[in-house]
Amino acid sequence: AQKVTQAQTEISVVEKEDVTLDCVYETRDTTYYLFWYKQPPSGELVFLIRRNSFDEQNEISGRYSWNFQKSTSSFNFTITASQVVDSAVYFCATAGDSWGKLQFGAGTQVVVTP
Amino acid sequence: GAVVSQHPSWVICKSGTSVKIECRSLDFQATTMFWYRQFPKQSLMLMATSNEGSKATYEQGVEKDKFLINHASLTLSTLTVTSAHPEDSSFYICSARDQTGWYEQYFGPGTRLTVT
């Protein structure tokens, strides 16, 4: 069984500050996948990234970056120079079987104020 | 990119009635679709996995007779909430898995159900 823990319920920052969202996962699978999704107030999930368990390289995409550390079972997400449009709920998720069933964390609400 | 639509985007129904929600993959074929439920300020909880041409697989605690799922074609899955009650009010989200790769899963925009 998979489990994802997002300990931060809400993070409030002022625009241009950096914000890091924590994600800790548990799995017994050797092969698994990790995801981050953004859910703005509209409700529609926006896919941000997918990582497989064999690829521990960190990734940067514009203002977004991800730090995958297998040793600590963490897959943290950083938004650099935050903007008001970054205000949303961010979910970390994992999938371990070939069916692709996603196990979501509780989500972290990010509030960016001008 | 791949697009998944849901219809309706919101619906209000009276207690005791049934509501059908459609999930369509618009530009790809989906052998598998997933249905999630999200209560306000909570996470997404997987309700069931819908496979084209076969019975859906329900997660523990989800009443299969209450939440009827039909996946009759490679582009359409439907979720029917039967005899709806106020506690069924929630945001229902579907996702569709592109049959070319299991991990490519695309989410619909969601359907907000309010039962009065």
Q: What is the rounded average pLDDT of the residues A12-24?
A: 98
Taking CB atoms and an 8 Å limit, are A99 and B102 in contact across chains? yes
Which pLDDT band holds residue A107 (cuts at 50, 70, 90)?
Answer: very high
- Closest residue on chain A to B49 (Cα): A101
pLDDT of A67-91, one tens digit each? 999 999 999 999 999 999 999 999 9
Phi, psi of B3 (to 5 degrees): -125, 135
Interface test with B, best of A10, A34, A45 (most B CBs within 10 A): A45
Residues of A in contact with B97 (CB under 8 A): 100
Identity of the amino acid at A37: Y
The pLDDT assigned to A14 comes to 97
Instruction: List A21's β-bridge partners, or say none.
Output: A77
Whether the pLDDT of residue A97 is over 70: the answer is: no
What whole-number percentage of chain A has pLDDT above 70?
A: 97
The pLDDT assigned to B72 comes to 83
Closest CA to A24 of A1, A54, A4: A4
Residues of A in contact with B109 (CB under 8 A): 42-44
Interface test with B, best of A99, A103, A108, A110 (most B CBs within 10 A): A99
Give the count of Cβ contacts less than 8 A between chain A and B.
Answer: 48
DSSP state letter for A42: T
List Cα–Cα distances, B25 to A43, A67, B33, in angstroms.
Answer: 18, 32, 9
Which pLDDT band holds residue B76 (cuts at 50, 70, 90)?
Answer: very high
For B110, counting Cβ atoms within 10 Å of its Cβ (0-12 exposed, 13-18 middle, 19+ buried), the class is buried
Taking every pair of Cα atoms in chain A, the longest distance, rounded to a whole number of angstroms, is: 43
Least confident of A42-46, B5-9, B78-82: A42-46
Q: What is the rounded average pLDDT of the residues B44-56?
A: 91
Whether A47 and chain B come into contact, CB under 8 Å, resolves to yes
Q: What is the rounded average pLDDT of the residues A19-39?
A: 94
Which pLDDT band holds residue A96 (cuts at 50, 70, 90)?
Answer: confident
For A78, counting Cβ atoms within 10 Å of its Cβ (0-12 exposed, 13-18 middle, 19+ buried), the class is middle
Q: What is the rounded average pLDDT of the residues A13-31?
A: 95
User: Could you give the CA distance from residue B86 to residue B84 in angstroms, rounded to a whole number?
Assistant: 7
The pLDDT assigned to A55 comes to 87
Average pLDDT value for chain B: 92
pLDDT of A52-73, one tens digit each? 898 888 889 999 999 999 999 9
The pLDDT assigned to A73 comes to 96
Whether the pLDDT of residue B102 is over 70: the answer is: no
Taking CB atoms and an 8 Å limit, are B46 and A91 in contact across chains? no
List Cα–Cα distances, A44 to A39, A47, A90, B20, B83, in angstroms.
Answer: 6, 10, 12, 19, 27
What whole-number percentage of chain B has pLDDT above 90?
A: 76
Interface test with B, best of A32, A52, A92, A102 (most B CBs within 10 A): A102
